[in-house]
Amino acid sequence: MRDFEQLVAELADEASIVKRAPHPYLLSMKLVGAAAVYLVVSLAVSGLRQDWAQAIGRPWFVAELVTLGMVFLTASLSASLLSFPDLHQKRGQAFLPLWMFGLFLGVVFLAWRADSPAAVLPEHTIECSSWIVLLALLPTAWTFYVMRNYASTHGHWAGGAAVLTAFSIGALWLRLQETNDSIVHVIEWHYLPMLAFCVAGLWMGKWALKW
């Protein structure tokens, strides 16, 4: 009996305090806060587009920014929920980005239909995609780092949500920084590459969030 009591006492002494995981909503606020600071700092360095005062007077441009911002917010929430094995019993909220991204694509499509006569295409092309990728690298790494502290059992979806969160920030920055009215250019060199990287994020999550 003494040996057993001694063993229990030794195990109790060796036990470490486990820090309780935050609620997904708080984790989401952490991701959103860090990304918002990153976006503001990036814009402070690069500056806003030269025609900012005129741009915010165009309804479709504002609608595009609002829905893209909602994609970012719902993707951040989704990444937080998908970090936990049971999604905190909020499966519907975890897949909100799918619906919001559909709404965003609808707004972009309507903006394209309303672009008549079509705005002049800018001379640059792949440079925009490159800038979005560069801006998204740090948020992608940060989001995956935060998510790895938990125990996601939905690696594919979690990775896709993490990449969508980061690339939404990159896309928002470029729309706020680049003086460009061509929605055709934006679709081709901003949003299609963003969608492609989000698909790649499904594979990245399975690899990066493995435990």
Across the range 74-83, mean pLDDT stands at: 95
Residue 17 has pLDDT above 70, yes or no: no
Model confidence pLDDT, tens digit, residues 91-130: 999 999 999 999 999 999 999 999 988 888 888 889 999 9
CA distance 131 to 190: 9
Tokens encoding 120:
């002049």
- Annotated domain spans of the chain: 24-208
Instruction: Note the pLDDT of residue 20.
Output: 72
- Residue 52: pLDDT band (50, 70, 90) is very high
Q: Residue 117: is the preceding peptide bond cis (ω within 30°)? A: yes
What's the per-residue H, E or C state across the chain? CHHHHHHHHHHHHHCCCCCCCCCHHHHHHHHHHHHHHHHHHHHHHHCCCCCHHHHCCCHHHHHHHHHHHHHHHHHHHHHHHCCCCCHHHCHHHHCHHHHHHHHHHHHHHHHHHHCCCCCCCCCCCHHHHHHHHHHHHHHHHHHHHHHCCCCCCCHHHHHHHHHHHHHHHHHHHHHHHCCCCCHHHHHHHHHHHHHHHHHHHHHHHHHHCCC
Across the range 66-86, mean pLDDT stands at: 95
Instruction: Note the pLDDT of residue 66.
Output: 97
Residue 18 has pLDDT above 70, yes or no: no
Model confidence pLDDT, tens digit, residues 148-184: 888 788 888 999 999 999 999 999 999 999 998 899 9
Max intra-chain CA distance, the chain: 89
Crossing angle between the packed helical segments 96-114 and 59-81, to the nearest 10 degrees = 160
Residue 14 has pLDDT above 80, yes or no: no
Instruction: Note the pLDDT of residue 190.
Output: 94
Q: Mean of the per-residue pLDDT values for the chain?
A: 89
Share of the chain above pLDDT 70, in %: 91
Specify the higher pLDDT residue, 15 or 93: 93
Instruction: Note the pLDDT of residue 49.
Output: 94
- Please, how many CA atoms are within 13 Å of residue 31, restricted to the half-sphere of its CB? 35
Residue 189 has pLDDT above 70, yes or no: yes
Instruction: Note the pLDDT of residue 153.
Output: 86
Instruction: Note the pLDDT of residue 181.
Output: 86
Instruction: Note the pLDDT of residue 6.
Output: 64
Residue 13 has pLDDT above 70, yes or no: no
CA distance 97 to 64: 15
Amino acid at 153: T
| Dihedral angle computed from the Cα positions of residues 34, 45, 55 and 186, in that order, rounded to the nearest 10 degrees | -80
